[in-house]
Amino acid sequence: MAGNAKVETYRFAGDGVVPNNPALPVVLYRAALAGESGGAIAARFAPHRRPDAWANGIYAHHHYHAGAHEVLAIAAGWVRVRLGGEHGGTFDLAAGDVVAIPAGVAHKREAASPDLIVIGAYPDGQRPDIQLAEAAAHDAALFDITAVALPAADPVTGRAGPLLDCWRRG
């Protein structure tokens, strides 16, 4: 992790449509991987117990994963994302930023540069079920979200690190 990386945390309450995560905050690492290419970021995630990293963008509609925590690293460009659903917050992310999104927290792209490259990954053994922001699915999703295990390692540092420090405190 770059020495000048700043770690921020954010919590979002459920709103009856998006459950968000009642126990775990979003963890945002500013400039943690500045200067690293998409390939280098994917290679960093693999030994940190996040195999099968992908390169793409972020969907332009609210969605969340009830069965997986997600890490997104901006490898190139910039993106404005809304986290936490319509009542959440908007964040500008730039190349080098990493955001760890706990299961249940909605996210969507609101704007992006044409050169945006996002590297995403999920902890070993977790699969990204895509859930839409719909009130009918809220209660069942909330049950699943609370059962998702903590990852074994921080996605950026590979050891306990900021993510697990924040998530163990809840």
Mean pLDDT of 19-41: 96
pLDDT digits (tens, 9 = 90+) for 71-110: 999 999 999 999 999 999 999 999 999 999 999 999 999 9
Residue-averaged pLDDT of the chain: 93
Instruction: With respect to residue 20, please indicate whether it lies within any of the assigned structural domains.
Output: yes
* pLDDT value, residue 1: 54
The count of domains in the chain is 1
Q: Give yes or no for residue 61 having a pLDDT over 60.
A: yes
Q: E strands along the chain, which residues?
A: 6-10, 26-30, 54-56, 63-65, 70-76, 78-83, 89-94, 98-101, 107-112, 117-121, 130-132
Q: Residue 90 maps to which CATH number?
A: 2.60.120.10
Instruction: With respect to residue 1, please indicate whether it lies within any of the assigned structural domains.
Output: no
Instruction: With respect to residue 126, please indicate whether it lies within any of the assigned structural domains.
Output: yes
Structure-model confidence comparison of residues 147 and 3, the more confident one:
147
Instruction: With respect to residue 170, please indicate whether it lies within any of the assigned structural domains.
Output: no
Among candidate residues 127, 153, 25, the one with its CA nearest the CA of residue 66: 127
pLDDT digits (tens, 9 = 90+) for 159-169: 878 899 889 88
Which SS3 state, helix, strand or coil, does residue 141 take?
Answer: helix
Domain coverage including residue 137? 6-165
CB of 68 closer than 8 Å to CB of 109: no
Instruction: With respect to residue 113, please indicate whether it lies within any of the assigned structural domains.
Output: yes
CB of 98 closer than 8 Å to CB of 6: no
Mean pLDDT of 119-143: 91
Rounded to whole angstroms, the Cα distance separating 17 from 45 reads: 31
pTM for this prediction: 0.94
Among candidate residues 62, 146, 156, the one with its CA nearest the CA of residue 103: 146
* pLDDT value, residue 160: 79
* pLDDT value, residue 51: 83
Residue 43: its H or E element: helix 38-45
